Chains A and B, each alone.
Chain A
Amino acid sequence: MEDLDRLYHERPKNHLVRLSLLAMIALIAGTWIFGNFVETENTNRLANVERFLNELRPYPLQDRNFDLSIALSWSSDLIDEKGWEAMSTTLAISVAAIVLAGIWGTLLALPAARNITAGFTYDPPKLLWTLIVGTTRLVLIFLRAIPEYVWAFLLLALLGPTAWPAVLALALHNSGIIGKLSAEVIEDLPREQLRSLTSIGASRLQIVMAAVAPAALPRLLLFFFYRWETCVREATVLGMLGIVSLGFWIQDARARNFYDEMFFLILLGAFIVMIGDVVSTLVRAYVRRAS
């Protein structure tokens, strides 16, 4: 039993995890003590909330009892007027963006993967290839370091208020993310599989085609669909810059103080994000099963 106690005391401990836990607890306690969160001076707050909630109700229904037929006709008018167009534009932007991001990201992932550039051998990589890996990785970092909102802002000035600034902004930012993730997937592929192809005289591109692509594709598809999900959400937000996706109409309704319309459009936005979520989950589950 003494042995057991000694082994218990000598067991390997992860100090980083323990310290981070302590730091986290201290941080939470600190914010409660020193932060100014719990303030209740403003007595109008409740009234404000009540007024706001009332304004979220469809306009024809404000200050009267709820009537489903009125609500439905109001919403279908709104959907006919701008809802369909806004939703389909948002979806179209996200799909175009993820297709471009997928292509660019994968193309950049190949030179960024160290096992490909090293030719799948254990030999030390040549200087030229080290430079190629470094440069590609820098490009990838740069692409994802700039948020899609900022990309869109810059491109809007360049291309004018069409859907393209949103598409390109999402594509650029996401190709940085997809490129990095894909490069990592490729580097994690079983080394012997790829190395054995070098040992029979196959070129880098042949190995990419015959072994890297089939082995990595299922996982890359998982990333594409995950990023597509976020693209749908971001395409909505980017509308606030003046690109006619859902965000534009939300902004527009807000500017005209039509809170009921704004709220309805936000719900539509949530709806297509949820659709995107469900589609992406189904596709990813299918890809996982098939691979």
Chain B
Amino acid sequence: MSSKGGDLSIRDVSVVFDSVTALDRVSLDIQSGEAVALVGLSGAGKTTLLNTCNAMTWPTNGNISIDGKNLSSMDTNELKMARMRIGFVHQQLSLVPNLRVIQNVVIGRLGHRSLIGSARDLLFPSREITEQVYDILQSVGIPEKIYERTDRLSGGQQQRVAIARALFQDPNILLADEPVSSVDPARAEATIALMKDICASRGLTLCVSLHNLELARAFFPRMVAMRNGRIIFDQPTDTLQSYEIEKVFSLVDDSLASPPLSAQEDGLGGRFG
């Protein structure tokens, strides 16, 4: 599949929650089909930035456009259409635990369907839908789990279902917020590689926030680092200098208590802050 739109443009965006500045005049352009890693400590503003991209958090100032269209000038229907084109893989699993895998994947396409149509897809999916779900599950490597109950799967498998759901949505842009923070290091690498490959082969724009710098370096050509709500660098991964990386994760000038860098590098440094 070729590239099909998916330019993301963030212009001067600030977000203030109850006098706490989560984002401070952030500007970022991501081209269609590009793969970007968003790195930084907890509380740096990565999640807020991703949430503004599908208008789940509205910026206090600044603009976000997708394929040249400003989110804040869209009416309800246009916004819905825009959201349908953005797949989102969350840090906390957002699957419905007591549904089957196939149903959780079908949920990805709710926005495209009428109420009756989506009820039929959930309860009595057609052969065509079932085959599409099977194909997507095959691409994330768990086709045999299609009729399994979702909460019977391991954390890593559930993360794959979440990715499958986002892909079933047929998005132009895939955003992922700490998708591997609850997965063991070996699986984390496999999951990121999988997302990267799928997005590359489908021409999707990919933006993933990560704690793990090694993963970001190994899989993403471009790295955007955030600290205290600001972007502190945005450059190709292969030109990165080690002092720049230290700036991202150093604990000086940071009121948050965080574990040392080594804890993050082994991929276990999931949550602190």
Contacts and interface: CB of A to CB of B under 8 A. Distances in A.
Do these two chains interact? yes
Interface of A: 121-123, 190, 192-193, 195-203, 205-207, 209-211, 214-215, 218, 291
B160 interface: no
Contact of A192 (B90, B111, B115, B122): B90
A201 B76 CA distance: 10
Interface stretch (B22-30, B91-99, B126-134, B183-191): B91-99
Nearest to A203: B115
Contact of A197 (B87, B110, B112, B122): B110
Nearest to B55: A199
B97 to A, nearest CB: 7
B235 interface: no
B176 interface: no
Contacts of A196: 88, 90, 94
A214 B100 CA distance: 11
B116 to A, nearest CB: 10
A200 B98 contact: no
Nearest to B175: A199
Contacts of B111: 200-202
Contacts of A202: 107, 110-111, 118
A69 to B, nearest CB: 55
Question: Looking at chain B, what size class is its interface with the partner chain?
Answer: 20 to 34
A207 B90 CA distance: 17
Chain A, interface SS category: helix
Interface centre among B56, B80, B92, B169 (most CB of A within 10 A): B56
Contacts of B110: 197, 200-203, 206-207, 210
Contacts of A203: 110, 115
Nearest to A291: B98
A263 B81 CA distance: 69
B33 interface: no
Given A195-B56, A209-B122, A218-B98, 4 more contacts: A199-B54, A199-B86, A201-B84, A202-B107
Contacts of A199: 54, 56, 83, 86, 88
13 contacts: A190-B92, A196-B88, A199-B86, A200-B86, A200-B87, A200-B110, A201-B111, A203-B115, A207-B110, A210-B110, A211-B96, A215-B98, A291-B98
B22 to A, nearest CB: 12
A257 B168 CA distance: 74
Nearest to B107: A210
Given A193-B96, A201-B83, A206 B88 contact: no
B83 A123 contact: no
Nearest to B100: A214
Given A122-B57, A200-B169, A209 B98 contact: no
A215 B167 CA distance: 23
A209 B56 contact: no
Contacts of A210: 96, 99, 103, 107, 110, 118, 122
Interface centre among A190, A196, A205 (most CB of B within 10 A): A196
A229 B92 CA distance: 38
Nearest to B106: A210
Nearest to B83: A201
A212 to B, nearest CB: 9
Contacts of B92: 190, 192
